[in-house]
Each structure stands twice: as structure tokens, then as C-alpha cells.
């Protein structure tokens, strides 16, 4: 029950509309919420449990659609939410319902979890979305918490490692550590476990310079998954863009995230967040009213222009965040700056980034969001990675972004998998990928580090499953194996799934090593999926988004030391010779002092000729690079049977042979060298 007897009183002399969210100002807290179409906003204060509503107060002022007020004596730890009044007119895009408790979009810490109940809907479930539900949703909603942002960062500073020296490791906070025997059991699955000694030692061993974490923003475990006994493991269903996901916090407090980042920084490891600003957890018009929909549906979401009752969905999730709206754009920018300035993260990977560039005429590489990022003095200096597609018309935009964005390059993934699968006619495509995909990225003054090169990521087969399964096996997802894509470019090499056949296992190891080498030795930025460095499998599940269990958690007990050693040797060689360059290479006659001089070589000796590029059966060729530092590096790839390769004149030193038990080599070679089947060689002169 609400007790209004001792309700706090707003102080009009201190209240500010310019700082959104709940900001503790030393002796009280300023509350501010944007809703352009609201007629009234109530601030609801709860007890520490978040279950009992104590006070309900109208925010006293509104300017420019921002409702605000300052409450003396309200300190960090205060639990709160909002009820927003306004027109219930779904046909016009307005879905206000003051019976629904709403989460502050700027909430920095949450108390409690979603308890799925029909009262969370703004309409009466069982009727259409034009109806109006009068039940109170507060008992079923998580609440926001006022936080104290003070933290002793000591001497922590951004690392700002150059892109050409970066090796990215895509990982899940929980899945990475949940089964690791050397992570303290109480710390597994949390930020404390992420930054423990065992994890840092492993990252150092394999040459990783940055961890790219799957979504850590607070997210919803979708109702349809919970009712099937599953959960939203990946986290691409954002509930709050400022608060971390509470189950990842052993302590329950946001300072744990800061402590983990500080510890990783001291180890020289950057932290990149996978962020989902293209949609939220509220779904389409039949979804829940938990935050944005009830605050101002017509402002926060992109609506169908001919029928604003419905959302304009370019994400496949039911809604699209309207980042073209200046106040929604501000929220996204405020969120990004918060994670950089207050939490010290080093960069972001933007999920379905093409959605963020959608303007009235479709995708715009110079859209409001991208231009805002490029001019921002804080954000333009951190690492920015685009997933350069969405499911809307014209959404596939690989190579279509401007500096300083880098891009996930699925062309690298697909061509590399197909080449090593021994598909015909792929030498021209592989030459593109080895040299940084210049057709896609060598324009608009973009550097040769624009392509983020990978052969496996969270969405799809793991690298080991790519050589172990011809078909997806997603039965555990409960969708009769219909979910997940079928374009896997995989090859089980003779047996579907695990096998005791030593010949098949040897062939799988060779191909995995060759693909890891292709990632590590190509121009661009190498990224590997956590576990690919030791042969982790998901039993053929290529869509483990709902598998918060042994299917998706990394199985450290089955880690292959030989693969770990191989990848460690590859990243060490890459750094030693400064293989990655910021400028695209050129033919020797055209290369400048700041460019690598590159040559494409045929196994018979000499340069590749026009007819060689058209030879669909050719599967062995070489890339020679004379780097600006004077290093002379030859990369030879052979996806076919055993072959021989005629070296250019001079004494070469074999440094990498992925077919060998000991990957790191240093033996002299002249004339003709053997190139084993399914192998990559790296030589220097």
C-alpha cells in the first residue's frame, strides 16, 4: 500500500531538465524523463525490495517534452519507476496506460527480474491490441535503482591499441567461464570470473588484445522461451541501455563491471561491448508495455507511415528503435558515452547496424546516427564495429560504412570456409580476403584495417562444428530444427559429428588450423569466437541463442592444446613481423614507402598470370608482401592435395607450417618447398 503521509517534496530551485535519468547530485536526486506526447508523469518510489510502492509523485515541470523534478534526501539505493499518462490511441501510435509501471530508459541498475504475467501488456490479452488493460503491472516488473557513480579508477586509462595490432576475441560473459576449472566456482558466469587470473593468462597466451562481449545490457528472457524451459542466452533483447545484466554480477552492483574492466586494462586487454540499439525487448504491438512503449511509443519506435498502429520492423524482432528522432538519438549517444566515460569500455560492436542508418529514404551511410558518432569527441576515438546488415530492404551494406567504423566481413567468412572446403574457382576470392578485401573497403580513405575477419561467430557453427557437421542440429531449441540458417558452408569430412576415426580427426585439425591461420595472417583485424582456439563444439547447434547450458558453454575439459599452441604461434608471428598494415598494399611498381608491395605467386614459380586466376582447379597459391619495415613475408595457402611451391630467389625461413605438430618453425628453405595438403605456410626472408 502507498503511504503518502511522509511523501518527499520537490525542490523547484534545483530541478534540471538537461540531465536525463535519475542523477544523484550530492544531497538529493534529479529525475527527468522524455515523453513528447504524455499529459502527466508520475514518479513511483518503492522500498528496498522493489515490491512495495511507497510514494507516487507527479513530476512537477515539463520543458521540451522532458518531465523533471528534484527530490531532496533521495539517495543512491532508492528504487523507482514511472507511470505515464497520455492518449490511448493505438491507431495513431499512442499506447499510454498509467496502470503499467515503466522502467526508466536511463536506469543504471535494476532491482528484481521480469515475472511474466498478462498484466505486463497494455491491452487485454485475448482481445486485440486496441483494448485497454487496467491491471497494475508493478508486481511483475523489475525496477530502476538510483546509483552512486563514484569509483576509484586509480590510474586506469583507455588503452587505445592500434587496430593493426588488435586481435579480437568474441565471448559470452557466462559461457566463457561457467565450466572453466581454474575459475573459482563462485565467480563463474560473472564479471568477476571474466577478469580472473586464469582467464587473463589464457588471453595473453593466445595473443588476444580485446574481448568483444555479447550483450551485457540488461535484457529480457522472452516469455515464449521461459515457458519452454529455455532462456535468452545471447541477450539480444535489450531492456535497458545503461544497466548491466544483473545475473552477470556476483555482487549485484555495477562496480563489479568497473572492477573487471580495470583489471583487464591492467593486463593490456581492451573491452568491446556488443550493443543492441536497433530494437528493444518489447516486441511488436502485441508485446509487453515495460518501458519505451508506455513512455511514448510514437517517439521511441519507428512506426509504419501508412498505419502507425503497427511498427516498421527491419530487425525481425517486432520493433525498430527510432534513432532518427533527436531525443531517441540522444538517449543512444548518452548510453554510449556513459559506457565509455563512466564504465571505461574501449569500444562497441553495433548489432544490425544498418538499422541505425535508416532514414526516410532507407539506409544512409551519412545518416544522423553515424554523423553524430563521427563528430563526437568521446565516441569517435573508441573502437567502432558495425554488423553491416539488417533484414530490411537494402540492409546488406558490407563495405558501405565510413571511417572510423570497422565492419564484420561475412564475405571473408564465407569465402574462407568455401576455399578450405575445396570448392572450385575460389582463388580470386581468397586473394581478396588475404589482402583485406579491397573491393569492399579500399575507398573513401578507409584503412586496410576496415575488415574484421572471422570464420565463426556466436551466430552459426563454431569453427570445429564447421568441419564436423554437414547439417545443423538445433533440435534442443524446440523448433523442430527449423530455426537457424542452412548456409553453413561446412563439411563433416566423412562423419557427422564426433568420431573416433583418427584419419577424420587429423583432417579436421588440419583444416581448423588452416582457417585459423587464414584469419590470423590476412590483412584486416582478426576475430575469433571464444573456444575456436581449442576446438569447442556446440554439437552442431548453429543457433544456440536460447541454450544457457552445456550446449553453449565452453567445454574447457575437451580443449585441444595443439590448437591453442597453433593459434598462439600465429598471433605471435603476426605481431613479430608487423604483418597488419593500415594502408592497402599495391603492386611493387606502385607501392610507396608507406605501403606494402604485394605479389601473387603461382606454385610453379613467378607471378600469377591471367589464365591462372581463371583456373577453377587451382587451390594453391602465394602472397608475397614486402612491408614498409623491410620485412619480406610469403604466405602460401594450399586447400588441395600435397603440392610443391617454387620460392622466389634467396634464402627463406619457414616460420609457420600448420600441418606440423609444432606449428612454429624456423628452418631455412630455398628453391622448391613441399606444401602439405590443407596447410598454410608462412616464410620470411
Q: Compute the distance between CA of residue 104 and CA of residue 292 in angstroms, rounded to an integer.
A: 9
Residue 405's nearest CA partner among 390, 383, 389, 377 is: 383
The answer to whether the beta carbons of residues 664 and 637 sit under 8 Å apart is no
> Are the C-beta atoms of 376 and 344 separated by less than 8 Å?
no
Q: Where are the domains of the chain?
A: 163-282+321-577, 597-684
Q: Provide the CB-side half-sphere exposure for 398 (13 A, CA).
A: 14
Integer Cα distance of 275 and 331 in angstroms: 14
Distance CA(442)–CA(597), nearest Å, equals 16
The pLDDT value given to residue 182: 97
pLDDT averaged over every residue in the chain: 95
Which helix or strand (DSSP H or E) is residue 625 part of?
Answer: strand 620-626
How many Å separate Cα 71 from the centre of its chain? 38
Cβ neighbours, 10 Å, residue 309:
17
Cα separation, 125 vs 128, in Å, equals 7
Phi, psi dihedral angles at 565 (to 5 degrees): -60, -40
Phi/psi at 52 (5° precision) = -115, 120
CATH code for the part of the protein at 163-282+321-577: 3.20.20.80
Res 664: pLDDT: 66
CA nearest to 86, candidates 293, 312, 282, 240: 293
pLDDT for the residue 391: 86
Identify the pLDDT of residue 314: 87
Q: Report cis status (omega within 30 of 0) of the bond before 647.
A: no
> Exposure string (b/e) for 175-184, b if CB count within 10 Å is 16 or more?
bbbbbbeebe
Active site residue 351: yes
C-beta of residue 280 within 8 angstroms of C-beta of residue 328:
no
**SS3 label, residue 641:** coil
Put the strands of the sheet holding 679-684 in their side by side order.
Answer: 597-601, 620-626, 632-638, 679-684, 652-657, 664-669
Q: What is the pLDDT of residue 2?
A: 38
Residues 6+ apart with CB under 8 A from 440: 398, 399, 409, 411, 450, 451
Centre a 10 Å sphere on the Cβ of residue 500 and count the other Cβ atoms it contains.
Answer: 7
Provide the pLDDT for residue 5. 60
Other CB atoms within 10 Å distance of the CB of residue 101: 28
In sequence order, what are the residues at sequence separation of 6 or more whose Cβ sits closer than 8 angstroms to the Cβ of residue 93?
A: 297, 298, 303, 308, 309
Residue range 597-684 in CATH 2.60.40.1180: yes
Cell reading at 450: 576496415
d(C-alpha 429, C-alpha 29), whole Å: 58
Q: How far is CA 272 from CA 202, 214, 384, 450, 657, in A?
A: 18, 9, 9, 16, 32
Tell me which of 42, 53, 187, 351 is the catalytic residue.
Answer: 351
pTM: 0.96
Instruction: For 215-241, write each residue's pLDDT tens digit.
Output: 999 999 999 999 999 999 999 999 999
Q: How many CA atoms lie within 13 A of 405 on its CB side?
A: 29
pLDDT at 164: 96
Q: Mapped to the 3 state alphabet, what secondary structure does 440-499 carry?
A: HHCCCCCCCCCEEECCCCCCCCCHHHHCCCCCCCCHHHCCCCCCCCCCCCCCCCCCCCCC
What 3-state class would DSSP assign to 320? coil
Buried b (16+ CB within 10 A) or exposed e, 76-93: eebbbbbbbebebebeeb
pLDDT of residue 1: 31
- Considering the candidates 212, 387, 407, 565, report the single residue annotated as catalytic: 387
Q: C-alpha grid cell for residue 394? A: 537494402
Spell out, as residue ranges, where the chain has pLDDT lower than 50: 1-4
450/523 Cα distance (integer angstroms): 9
Of 540, 402, 415, 524, the C-alpha closest to 473 is: 540
Amino acid at each position: 500500500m502507498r503511504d503518502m503521509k511522509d511523501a518527499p517534496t520537490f525542490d523547484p530551485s534545483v530541478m534540471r531538465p538537461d540531465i536525463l535519468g535519475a542523477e544523484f547530485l550530492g544531497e538529493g536526486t534529479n529525475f527527468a524523463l522524455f515523453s513528447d506526447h504524455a499529459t502527466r508523469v508520475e514518479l513511483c518510489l518503492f522500498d528496498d525490495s522493489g515490491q512495495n510502492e511507497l510514494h507516487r509523485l507527479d513530476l512537477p515541470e515539463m520543458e521540451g517534452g522532458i518531465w523533471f523534478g528534484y527530490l531532496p534526501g533521495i539517495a543512491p539505493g532508492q528504487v523507482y519507476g514511472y507511470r505515464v499518462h497520455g492518449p490511448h490511441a493505438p491507431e495513431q501510435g499512442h499506447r499510454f496506460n498509467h496502470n503499467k509501471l515503466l522502467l526508466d530508459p536511463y536506469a543504471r541498475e535494476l532491482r528484481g527480474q521480469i515475472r511474466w504475467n498478462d498484466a505486463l501488456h497494455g491491452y487485454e490479452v485475448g482481445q486485440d491490441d486496441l483494448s485497454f488493460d487496467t491491471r497494475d503491472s508493478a508486481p511483475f516488473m523489475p525496477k530502476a535503482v538510483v546509483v552512486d557513480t563514484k569509483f576509484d579508477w586509480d590510474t586506469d586509462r583507455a588503452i587505445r591499441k592500434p587496430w593493426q595490432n588488435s586481435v579480437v576475441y568474441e565471448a559470452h560473459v557466462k559461457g566463457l567461464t561457467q565450466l572453466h576449472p581454474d575459475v573459482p566456482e563462485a565467480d563463474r558466469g560473472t564479471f568477476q570470473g571474466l577478469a580472473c587470473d586464469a582467464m587473463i593468462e589464457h588471453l595473453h597466451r593466445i595473443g588476444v588484445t580485446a574481448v568483444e562481449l555479447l550483450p551485457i545490457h540488461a535484457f529480457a528472457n522472452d516469455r515464449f522461451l521461459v515457458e519452454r524451459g529455455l532462456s535468452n542466452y545471447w541477450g539480444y533483447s535489450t531492456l535497458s541501455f545503461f544497466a548491466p545484466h544483473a545475473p552477470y554480477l556476483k555482487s549485484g552492483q555495477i562496480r563489479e563491471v568497473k572492477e573487471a574492466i580495470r583489471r583487464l586494462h591492467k593486463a593490456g586487454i581492451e573491452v568491446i561491448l556488443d550493443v543492441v540499439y536497433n530494437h528493444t525487448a518489447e516486441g511488436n504491438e502485441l508485446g509487453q508495455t515495460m518501458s519505451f512503449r508506455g513512455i511514448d511509443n510514437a517517439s521511441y519506435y519507428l512506426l509504419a507511415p501508412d498505419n502507425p498502429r503497427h511498427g516498421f520492423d527491419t530487425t525481425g524482432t517486432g520493433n525498430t528503435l527510432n534513432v532518427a528522432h533527436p531525443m531517441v538519438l540522444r538517449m543512444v549517444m548518452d548510453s554510449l558515452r556513459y559506457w565509455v566515460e563512466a564504465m571505461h569500455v574501449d569500444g562497441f560492436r553495433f548489432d544490425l547496424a544498418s538499422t541505425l542508418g535508416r532514414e526516410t529514404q532507407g539506409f544512409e551511410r551519412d545518416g544522423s546516427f553515424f554523423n553524430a558518432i563521427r563528430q563526437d569527441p568521446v565516441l569517435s576515438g573508441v573502437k567502432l564495429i558495425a554488423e553491416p546488415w539488417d533484414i530490411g530492404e537494402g540492409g546488406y551494406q558490407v563495405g558501405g560504412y565510413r571511417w572510423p567504423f570497422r565492419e564484420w566481413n561475412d564475405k571473408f567468412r564465407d569465402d574462407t570456409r568455401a576455399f578450405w572446403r575445396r570448392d572450385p574457382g575460389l582463388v580470386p576470392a581468397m586473394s581478396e580476403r588475404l589482402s583485406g578485401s579491397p573491393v569492399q573497403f579500399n575507398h573513401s580513405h578507409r584503412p586496410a584495417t576496415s575488415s574484421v575477419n572471422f570464420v565463426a561467430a556466436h551466430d552459426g557453427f563454431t569453427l570445429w562444428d564447421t568441419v564436423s557437421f554437414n547439417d545443423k542440429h538445433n533440435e534442443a531449441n524446440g523448433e523442430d530444427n527449423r530455426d537457424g540458417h542452412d548456409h553453413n558452408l561446412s563439411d563433416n569430412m566423412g562423419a557427422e559429428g564426433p568420431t573416433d576415426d583418427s584419419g577424420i580427426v587429423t583432417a579436421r585439425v588440419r583444416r581448423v588450423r588452416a582457417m585459423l591461420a587464414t584469419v590470423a595472417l590476412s590483412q584486416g583485424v582478426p576475430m575469433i569466437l571464444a573456444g575456436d582456439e581449442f576446438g569447442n563444439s556446440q554439437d552442431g547447434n548453429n543457433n544456440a541463442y536460447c541454450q544457457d547450458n552445456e550446449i553453449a558453454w565452453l567445454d574447457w575439459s575437451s580443449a585441444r592444446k595443439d590448437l591453442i599452441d597453433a593459434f598462439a604461434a600465429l598471433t605471435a608471428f603476426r605481431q613479430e613481423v608487423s604483418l597488419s598494415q593500415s594502408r592497402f598494399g599495391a603492386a611493387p611498381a606502385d607501392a610507396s614507402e608507406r605501403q606494402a608491395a604485394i605479389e601473387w605467386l603461382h606454385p610453379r614459380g613467378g607471378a600469377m598470370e591471367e589464365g591462372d586466376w581463371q583456373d577453377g582447379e587451382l587451390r594453391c597459391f602465394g602472397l608475397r608482401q614486402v612491408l614498409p619495415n623491410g620485412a619480406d613475408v610469403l604466405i602460401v595457402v594450399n586447400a588441395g592435395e600435397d603440392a610443391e611451391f617454387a620460392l622466389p630467389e634467396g634464402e627463406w625461413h619457414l616460420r609457420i607450417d600448420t600441418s606440423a605438430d609444432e606449428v612454429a618453425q624456423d628452418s631455412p628453405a630455398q628453391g622448391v618447398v613441399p606444401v602439405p595438403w590443407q596447410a598454410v605456410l608462412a616464410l620470411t626472408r
